[in-house]
Amino acid sequence: MTRLSNYHVIAYVNETSHIIADLFVDDVSELPEKNGIDGYELVQGSKAYVIHSGELYVMDSLGKWYDTNGNQLEKVDSNELT
């Protein structure tokens, strides 16, 4: 489950708030895409705390998540599994 804990609106474009957010997720697989939360677009500097592993991830300007060691999160495309 993804929980939006805190956010700061930096722009409002086409009925979408562009935000720097603090998120909590149960597992790293639940990290959202930059437009993965209805009505919001996550921007560079958004942070996600992964409860299961205790890891912290930060979003870059392209919408990619990085851990505190600078490693980019590689998400598995669920369409590739079928």
Full pLDDT tens readout for the chain, 82 residues: 999 999 999 999 999 999 999 999 999 999 999 999 999 999 999 999 999 999 999 999 999 999 999 999 986 554 444 4
Phi first, then psi: give them for residue 53, nearest 5 degrees: -105, -15
Burial class for 21, CB neighbours closer than 10 Å (0-12, 13-18, 19+)? buried
The per-residue pLDDT for 79 is 47
pTM: predicted TM-score of the whole model, two decimal places: 0.85
Q: Rg (Cα) of the chain, in Å, rounded? A: 13
